[in-house]
Amino acid sequence: MVLPSEARGRVLVTGLSGFTGRHLRSALEAAGYVVCDSEPNGEPTFDLNEPSSIDKLLERMYPDYVCHLAGMGFVPHGDISGFYAINTVGTTNLLQAISQSGLSVRRIVIASSANVYGNATVESIDESTTPAPVNHYACSKLAMEHMARTWFDRLPIIITRPFNYTGIGQASHFVIPKIVDHFARRSTQIELGNLDVIRDFSDVRAVASVYSRLMDAGTVGETYNICSGQGHSLKSIIDSVADISRHSVNVAVNPLLIRESDVKRLIGSNAKLISAIGPLGFVDFGATLRWMYDGRLEELDSTVIRSH
């Protein structure tokens, strides 16, 4: 075990109790960092829209590093104003508080989103691709990026654009956990939207590892894609989980689940990231699906045991 006195520094993770944050905690601690206990009961002790609460958080945690994951991240979410209040204004409040805190923060890693690229026409999207967001979530993230750049002369900021990723612990309203759950339950039918959309899916554990490595790698003031470079259609994912589970599910396309603002194809280039931090060690996505399927089976089995 790494003692605090031996550690590489204290890291404040906003969104620590969320899907990505929980995996990032493990990656940071394995790398020798001390993760600030900013959400001791699984709930934030601060509000990004209340600057005074951020000031108090920084006073309590005195971080050496900040990884800003907190935000509103579900694209179909109906609260349009919430995207901007949390993703854009909330991030502004955080950077303002850090700037005025007097802390010598060594690195601030901010999670934007590959959704800012919209329906890019290039085969593989790199960081030079012009953003063209097609929904309010992506617009709020791009606005956040522009705002963060106004702090580049005062704060050591790196911006990341993670593409889609998944894993154990992701909420069931996201498409991959939904698919895995239906197969694990041996359901006979699942309702989905557009099966032909193609996404660059990664394993959350690999993404968490990248965030951890960016604490002391990469170049301040730069933007990095986080992605595998491999595209998967929902149909191919369904086929993979069917093979893993040895079960078949009838897929019903529900027009209500097809969004006009859906990005059709989103595959990224990770060349810049690899150049900055070295080989990524991303696992085969089939292994991720197997991990999720086995994990969901364990959850369902434990639920049955508790009910008895």
DSSP the chain: ---GGGSS-EEEEETTTSHHHHHHHHHHHHTTPEEP-S-TTSS-SS-TT-HHHHHHHHHHH--SEEEE--S---TT-S-HHHIIIIIIIHHHHHHHHHHHH-----EEEEE--GGGG-S--SSSB-TTSPP---SHHHHHHHHHHHHHHTTTTTS-EEEEEE--EE-TT--TTSHHHHHHHHHHTT-SEEEES-TT-EE--EEHHHHHHHHHHTTTSS-TT-EEEE--S--EEHHHHHHHHHHHHT---EEEE-GGG--TT--SEE-B--HHHHHHH----PPPHHHHHHHHHHHHHHHHHHHHHHH-
| pLDDT greater than 50 at residue 2 | no
Q: Give me the pLDDT at residue 261, please.
A: 62
For 218-257, what is each residue's pLDDT tens digit? 999 999 999 999 999 999 999 999 999 999 999 998 887 7
The structural domains of the chain, ordered by start, are: 4-170+201-229+264-283 (3.40.50.720)
Q: Give me the pLDDT at residue 196, please.
A: 84
| pLDDT greater than 80 at residue 167 | yes
User: Residue 1's pLDDT band (boundaries 50, 70, 90)?
Assistant: very low
For the segment 126-150, the average pLDDT, to the nearest whole number, is 96
Comparison of pLDDT for 130 and 43, the residue scoring more: 130
Q: Give me the pLDDT at residue 119, please.
A: 87
Report the catalytic residues.
137
For 250-297, what is each residue's pLDDT tens digit? 999 888 777 766 778 889 999 999 999 999 988 899 999 999 999 999
Q: Give me the pLDDT at residue 306, please.
A: 58
Q: Give me the pLDDT at residue 197, please.
A: 87
Comparison of pLDDT for 303 and 209, the residue scoring more: 209
User: Residue 303's pLDDT band (boundaries 50, 70, 90)?
Assistant: confident
Q: For the chain, give the percent of residues with pLDDT over 90.
A: 79
Q: For the chain, give the percent of residues with pLDDT over 70.
A: 94
For 169-228, what is each residue's pLDDT tens digit? 999 989 999 999 999 999 999 999 888 889 999 999 999 999 999 999 999 999 999 999
Q: Give me the pLDDT at residue 258, please.
A: 73
